[in-house]
A = this chain, B = another copy of it.
Amino acid sequence: MSQRTDQRRSEILQAAATCFIRRGFHQTSMKEVCAEAKLSPGLVYHYFESKEQIIQAIAQQAHRATGSLMAELETLPTLRLALARLAERLTHWLAQNGEARLYIEASVEASRNPSVRATFRAADDAFVTSFRLLLDAATHRGELPRDLDTELLAALIGICLDGIILNTAIQETLPLSSDVLQQLLERFVGLS
């Protein structure tokens, strides 16, 4: 794939994301995407096989930030610091307009679209595993009680974060400040 091709593809994806944030996957027509990208239908279909393929690509992007975030958290010396950083980064991500909406849109799509679901399951598993590692390390350092079910706790936190994302997507305002979120997380794992 040439550099030019990649560039065009990402332009189309960007335009599609804008439209999808505005109206959702299935209310957005290809005509809208074409108009937003200032490209003809023929050209858009030259770079993507179908609308479905564009949706898949967008759904994959919804998890972009997670991997590097978890890697960063693992380098921090204490769980408290890691949770603070998580709160900060999540708040920042939520403040980016539309990211939350796109994530929720993709989640809902995952419930019906097998290939999107596969993407989501993999990303979710990776998050829970990483988070569990974080908790296990903290337990090892004596920051948490030894009898904690870290697997369950990690899963619960994932669920709770999804709730925050959902709320952000629906309300126009951020429901939580970074500080409150940090306190919530600390409370959740039983740190304070």
Contacts and interface: CB of A to CB of B under 8 A. Distances in A.
Interface of A: 23-24, 26-27, 101, 104-105, 107-108, 110-112, 117, 120, 152, 155-156, 159-164, 166-167, 169-170, 175-176, 180, 184, 187-188, 190
A107 B170 contact: yes
Contacts of A166: 104, 107, 159, 162-163, 166
This chain: how many copies in the complex? 2
Contacts of A26: 24, 26-27
A170 B105 contact: no
A145 to B, nearest CB: 13
Contacts of A105: 108
17 contacts: A26-B26, A104-B108, A105-B108, A108-B169, A111-B169, A111-B170, A117-B170, A120-B170, A152-B180, A156-B184, A159-B164, A159-B166, A159-B167, A159-B176, A160-B163, A162-B163, A163-B163
A163 B158 CA distance: 9
B163 A108 contact: no
Contacts of A110: 170
A26 B159 CA distance: 26
Contacts of A27: 26, 112
Contacts of A161: 163
A144 to B, nearest CB: 14
Contacts of A170: 107-108, 110-111, 117, 120
